[in-house]
Amino acid sequence: MTLPPPIPEVPVPEVPAPVVPVPGIADVEVAPPVPGAPVVKQTERPHPLTPFIRGWILFVAIVIGWGQQLVPDGRDDGLDTSDLRQALPFVGALVLLAALTGLLSWYFTRFVIDDDELRLETGAVFKSSKRVSFERLQSVDIIQPLAARMFGLAELRIEVGAGDSTLRLRYLSRARATRLREYLLARAHGRSHRVDDPDLALPVSAFTDLSTDDSPLVKVSVARLVVSFLFSTEWLVTAGFAVVALVVTSFYGVVGYAWSGLIPLLIGVVSVIGRRVFAMYNFTLSESGRGLRVTRGLTNLTSQSVPVDRIQGVKSSQPLLWRLFGWYRVDVDIVGYAGGNGENNDSAASSVLLPVADAAEVALAVERVLPGFALDSIELHTVPRRARWVRWFDWWTLRYGWNDRALVTESGWLTHVRDVLPHAKTQSVRIERGPLQRRLHLADVHFDTPRGPVNVVAHQLDEAVARELAFSQLDRARSARRADQARAVAGSPGDSARDGLLAAFGTDRSQLLGAGSESEVFALGPDRVLRLYRERHEAPQQTAEQLRALYGSWAGNDIGVEVPLTYEVGRRAGRTYAVDRRFSGRGFSGWLATADRDERRQALLSYLDAVTALPLLPSPVPGFARLVGPGALRPYGSLADLLNVMLAGPVTRSRAAVERDLPEVAGVWQRLQADLAERQVSPAVVHGDICPPNTYLSQSPHGPVVTGIGDFSPHTLHADPVLDLTGSVAFLELETYPEAAADAAWLTAVVLERYGDSRAAAGDLARWIAVYRRFYGFYFSDSCLDQPELYRWCLEQLRS
Amino acid sequence: MDDLFAPPAYAWQRLSPRYRSLRRLTTVLVAPILFSVPAVLVGVLTGLWWISAVLWSIATVIVLLRLSLVEKNWRSWGYVEREDDLYITHGVLFRSLVAVPYGRMQLVEVASGPLERSFGLATVSLRTASPETNASIPGLPPEEAARLRDRLTELGEAHASGL
């Protein structure tokens, strides 16, 4: 079970927990149904100039469309101004209507981007409200069409996970848009920032949109862009056609007729220039703190982030004449990017990584996109000579090869193309063979990738080779996917800062012992571990220091179970770390899934012993208190006060979801409050998150024994020991092995029998376990945001 | 069946023989209908009925050619479920073998049009994130199609991996 991140600093400590009514007194309605009742959110509208600019874009489109009609087309009947006079009122009405729609849509568009959520509400008649969790953000782009740019406005385009639609915020002031982008990207990378955080780096230049902490990797000069365009096959072919057509028609003296054919050609040329030159003007690939970023554009300024982990393939191509300069163009396949780019076509997210670059720059960029792939070392194979009967035009350029990370294919003479497919991204593999190939014993092998420019095909292989390549690719893809999953658990593949940090401690990613929502743990030899706190964890340094103090105060108290000990806490490379004692034994949770029933039950009894030993640990404070986290060690007057403070944060976050899924929640809350107020108990150390993943097991001569309990956290309290007793049975239900529920039921019966008469049971242990199950139901209910399994469990606790 | 398109160490599962009958029926229907429309139009409008006759004879040749290939085409189809991927092969002149890892399947679909239904057949199609993955198996008995769908969905979940 992974539990949600610990409670962040809730603005509670000063606010007293809600008055808990004494049962029997009829002022129950005084207490708010849920503490920390959410403040009404300040929603925002886009910039008021928005409808004007959107109307303007439409107006320009109409003028251009009209203008095309007036161009003489050889039939010599154009330029009839009376047409224009009749049409003007129509155009006027159309523009007015568009302006009105624009105004309405602007008026009804509202958005919230704050510390909790990203939400966009649109629609006058059909209202829609989209809420996106920060973790699912893929990229955030800023796009400035010319009209918007003149007024210093920008569109914020937010890509959500594959298959989902794009959120577009039109238009915001530039400063606001860049600030929001930096904020969203920071959150998407799991860092905790506030919207008004001053250190969200802001772009310095309105022309290039580079932030102060961006370091440009590749810049494409205007001269190179223009020269490369003039030498591109696309341009030469179009221009050649136009020239030939003009020459031929003027030779016969019929140029007038050529116009009607040339106009579409000219429009084509203009659009090619637009795509290749204007859209790529000032192209800069830069590395920012939040990944790669592309900024480009002359009239429409576009700024895209490149989600490296979503790249499905890389294609570098070289038109024939570019060989003179040694230039290449690089495109990438990104899931969800290609395809639906209808309006504002040239400003839509594009797949260009580098429009033109020399070999060194290409190598630099590809190394960022596919780090550690060592593509240069791949040995490329040629195809048999008999392929010339089928591919007479380019058979000598066909190549293929692979290493353990990627597959490479090359083809083409007029434009030489090299496609790279990381094995893990292989979708399916096909062998295809036509009738001619059949005679020559040749076949093509296709490696399918998602929609996009990359098209990986090994052409014209010998039959046996093709078969071997196709089947072995399936195996390579499988093992690469597994390796990628392992890497994903150990962190993002490009996290070099973290690798450096691990190296400084003499360890590496392969030493990963475990990872939770708060930290990752790496082995540092047989008796020590390195704990790296995640940056999304609130105030990690404070937590680490508090834990060290707490563990220090326990040292020398042998309770028969190992508890953690921290040797060192510090900050390096922007990460908080702690060096802890390594537990003996192995993870209890993993073992449970492999053990048989009798072994499990023996271990669970010893687990119970370990849990009930925890109250023997000394507490640094006498009264009810949190032991770790914000406001730790502050004494609370009663158990209910403390637990309500613990609940305030999660319940605020989950309130809307819980009220939706459980209409009777107010009643459940009242009952919990009444129960807690009634509870009389003397406080003891409570782990707060006691579950098999936080527990260690060793094999003794008498069988499996639970020997250690780790991962104390901001859930840890000085409170009612029945909390942990409840946790030890309740959280067992969240284990994923098939008999987990049966074991939990059995363990509950054991607990009731063993501890039913203890002082803490206060005569009715079953009741208090039920009460604390409801408590945990509320406490972990903010899992509604990201952990549906846990959330379902929470609802179950609240229903019963 | 030649070696290039044989699955490694497994035997192909074949389509239902009823699929052959379905193919024969569509072959007999499609080309004549397609050619009859222009043939009748030309004949009625221009009176040049010899053009219509030529069109009809072309249609007849096509029908005969395709009829002779139905048996081969039916034999060319095959699929096999391996531990980690599904293999499908088909095609007479242009042969193709596609291997789809279970973990890559995004959607498994069973479709059955009115004609297919009347023959008691259904088509299973698989989708991955790639539009080029062309993996569908026609001519399955409905119970086999449903079994395959459930099995593939189950395997897809077990092997699932992100993009």
Distance CA A319, CA A333 (A): 20
Chain B hits for A446, CB-CB cut-off 8 Å, are: 132
CB contact under 8 A, A478 and B98: no
Residue A582 clears pLDDT 50, i.e. is over it? yes
* Residue among A393, A403, A530, A541 at smallest CA distance from A460: A393
Interface test with B, best of A427, A449, A451, A472 (most B CBs within 10 A): A427
**Each residue's pLDDT tens digit, B23-68:** 999 999 988 899 999 999 988 988 888 989 999 999 999 999 999 9
Chain A hits for B99, CB-CB cut-off 8 Å, are: 428-430, 470-471, 474
Per-residue pLDDT band at A161 (split at 50, 70, 90): low
Q: Are A258 and A242 in contact (CB under 8 A)?
A: no
Distance CA A263, CA A256 (A): 11
Chain A hits for B158, CB-CB cut-off 8 Å, are: none
Q: Return the percentage of chain A with pLDDT > 70, whole number.
A: 83
CB contact under 8 A, B130 and A427: yes
* Residue among A462, A464, A425, A468 at smallest CA distance from A447: A425
Query: Residue A273: which domain range?
Result: 226-277
Do A729 and A625 share a domain, yes or no?
Answer: yes
Nearest to A430 among B98, B129, B163 (CB): B98
Pick the range with the lowest mean pLDDT from A350-354, A506-510, A535-539, B151-155.
A535-539
CB contact under 8 A, A448 and B85: no
State the CATH number of the domain containing residue A418: 2.30.29
**Each residue's pLDDT tens digit, A365-397:** 998 888 878 888 889 999 999 999 999 999 999
Instruction: Name the pTM for this structure.
Output: 0.60
CB contact under 8 A, A310 and B100: no
Chain A hits for B103, CB-CB cut-off 8 Å, are: 478, 481
CA terminus-to-terminus distance, chain A: 21
Residue A75 clears pLDDT 60, i.e. is over it? no
| Stretch A96-104: mean pLDDT | 82
Residue A663 placed within a domain:
yes
* Residue among A107, A111, A104 at smallest CA distance from A176: A111
Q: B136 or B8: whose pLDDT is higher?
A: B136
Residue A317 placed within a domain:
no
Mind telling me how many Å the CA of A427 is from chain B's nearest CA? 6
Q: A430 or A701: whose pLDDT is higher?
A: A430
Residue A243, both tokens: 């020239």
Per-residue pLDDT band at A88 (split at 50, 70, 90): confident
Q: B96: part of which helix (H) or strand (E)?
A: strand B95-101
Mind telling me how many Å the CA of A432 is from chain B's nearest CA? 4
Q: Is B93 on the interface with A (CB under 8 A)?
A: yes
Written as one string, the DSSP assignment of A143-210 is EE-HHHHHTTEEEEEEEESTTSPPEEEEEEEHHHHHHHHHHHHHHHTT----TT-TTS--BS-TTT--
Nearest to A470 among B99, B129, B161 (CB): B99
Residue A743 CB contacts under 8 Å (≥ 6 apart), including other chains: A600, A601, A604, A732, A735
Residue A1 clears pLDDT 80, i.e. is over it? no
CB contact under 8 A, B100 and A428: yes
Residue A687: its pLDDT value, please? 92
Do A351 and A447 share a domain, yes or no?
Answer: yes
Mind telling me how many Å the CA of A307 is from chain B's nearest CA? 12
**Each residue's pLDDT tens digit, A747-791:** 999 999 888 888 877 778 889 999 999 999 999 988 877 777 888
Do A266 and A362 share a domain, yes or no?
Answer: no
| Stretch A224-234: mean pLDDT | 89
Residue A50 placed within a domain:
no
Residue A22: its pLDDT value, please? 38
Distance CA A564, CA A582 (A): 8
**Interfacial B residues in 56-85 facing A (CB < 8 Å):** 84-85
Residue located via tokens 């890559």: B104
Written as one string, the DSSP assignment of A660-692 is HH-TTHHHHHHHHHHHHHH-----EEE-S---G
Nearest to A477 among B8, B96, B101 (CB): B101
Distance CA A661, CA A784 (A): 10
Mind telling me how many Å the CA of A312 is from chain B's nearest CA? 8
Residue A341 clears pLDDT 70, i.e. is over it? no
Q: Is B146 on the interface with A (CB under 8 A)?
A: no
Q: Are A428 and B100 in contact (CB under 8 A)?
A: yes
CATH classification code of B78-159? 2.30.29.30
Do A485 and A604 share a domain, yes or no?
Answer: no
State the CATH number of the domain containing residue A772: 3.90.1200.10
What are the boundaries of each domain within chain B?
Answer: 18-73, 78-159
| Stretch A474-490: mean pLDDT | 78
| Stretch A46-50: mean pLDDT | 85
**φ, ψ at A695 (rounded to 5°):** -125, 150
CB contact under 8 A, A481 and B99: no
Q: Return the percentage of chain B with pLDDT > 90, whole number.
A: 40
Do A273 and A383 share a domain, yes or no?
Answer: no
**Each residue's pLDDT tens digit, A101-115:** 888 888 888 888 887
Mind telling me how many Å the CA of B163 is from chain A's nearest CA? 7
CB-neighbour burial class of residue A733 (10 A; exposed 0-12, middle 13-18, buried 19+): buried
Residue A358 clears pLDDT 50, i.e. is over it? yes
Q: Nearest-CA residue of chain B relative to A477?
A: B101
Residue A429, both tokens: 């593999």
Q: Nearest-CA residue of chain A relative to B98?
A: A430
CB contact under 8 A, A470 and B97: yes
Question: Within its chain, how far is the Cα of A153 from the centroid?
Answer: 27
Per-residue pLDDT band at A536 (split at 50, 70, 90): low
Residue A4: its pLDDT value, please? 42
* Residue among A526, A504, A501 at smallest CA distance from A513: A526
Q: Are A669 and A659 in contact (CB under 8 A)?
A: no
Residue A64 CB contacts under 8 Å (≥ 6 apart), including other chains: none
Chain A hits for B96, CB-CB cut-off 8 Å, are: 430-433
CB contact under 8 A, B130 and A448: yes
Interface test with A, best of B95, B125, B159 (most A CBs within 10 A): B95
Interface test with B, best of A448, A469, A473, A485 (most B CBs within 10 A): A448
Nearest to B99 among A428, A432, A485 (CB): A428
Question: Within its chain, how far is the Cα of A667 from the centroid?
Answer: 37
Q: Are A395 and A214 in contact (CB under 8 A)?
A: no
Chain B hits for A466, CB-CB cut-off 8 Å, are: 4
Q: Is B32 on the interface with A (CB under 8 A)?
A: no
Residue A558 CB contacts under 8 Å (≥ 6 apart), including other chains: none
CB contact under 8 A, B130 and A481: no
Residue A182, both tokens: 């930096």
CB contact under 8 A, B101 and A426: yes
| Stretch A558-565: mean pLDDT | 87
CB contact under 8 A, A427 and B161: no
User: A with B: how many residue pairs have Cβ under 8 Å apart?
Assistant: 87
Q: Nearest-CA residue of chain A relative to B97?
A: A431
Chain A hits for B133, CB-CB cut-off 8 Å, are: 427-428, 430, 448
Distance CA A280, CA A296 (A): 5
CB contact under 8 A, A443 and B8: no
Number of domains in chain A: 3
Q: Is B3 on the interface with A (CB under 8 A)?
A: yes
Do A412 and A267 share a domain, yes or no?
Answer: no
CB contact under 8 A, B161 and A450: no
Show the 3-state SS of A220-267.
CCHHHHHHHHHCCHHHHHHHHHHHHHHHHHHHCCCHHHHHHHHHHHHH
**Each residue's pLDDT tens digit, B57-85:** 999 999 999 999 999 999 999 999 888 88
Parallel, antiparallel or unpaired: strands A512-515 and A311-319: unpaired
Interface test with B, best of A164, A332, A428, A468 (most B CBs within 10 A): A428
Residue after which a domain boundary falls, among A434, A456, A489: A489
Do A613 and A738 share a domain, yes or no?
Answer: yes
Q: What ipTM did this prediction achieve? A: 0.90
Pick the range with the lowest mean pLDDT from A64-73, A249-258, B70-79, B135-144.
A64-73
Q: Nearest-CA residue of chain B relative to A481?
A: B161
Nearest to A481 among B85, B134, B161 (CB): B161
Distance CA A166, CA A147 (A): 22
**Each residue's pLDDT tens digit, A242-279:** 788 778 878 887 766 667 777 777 777 787 787 788 88
CB contact under 8 A, B99 and A471: yes
Nearest to B93 among A427, A435, A449 (CB): A435
Residue A387 placed within a domain:
yes
Distance CA A331, CA A351 (A): 6
Interface test with A, best of B72, B81, B96, B136 (most A CBs within 10 A): B96
Q: A697 or A204: whose pLDDT is higher?
A: A697
Q: Nearest-CA residue of chain A relative to B159?
A: A478
Chain A hits for B101, CB-CB cut-off 8 Å, are: 426, 428, 474, 477-478
Buried b (16+ CB within 10 A) or exposed e, A318-347: bbebbeeeebbbbbbbbbbbbeeeeeeebb
Interface of chain A toward chain B, CB-CB under 8 angstroms: 162, 310, 312, 335, 425-435, 438, 443, 446, 448-451, 463, 466-467, 470-471, 474, 477-478, 481, 485
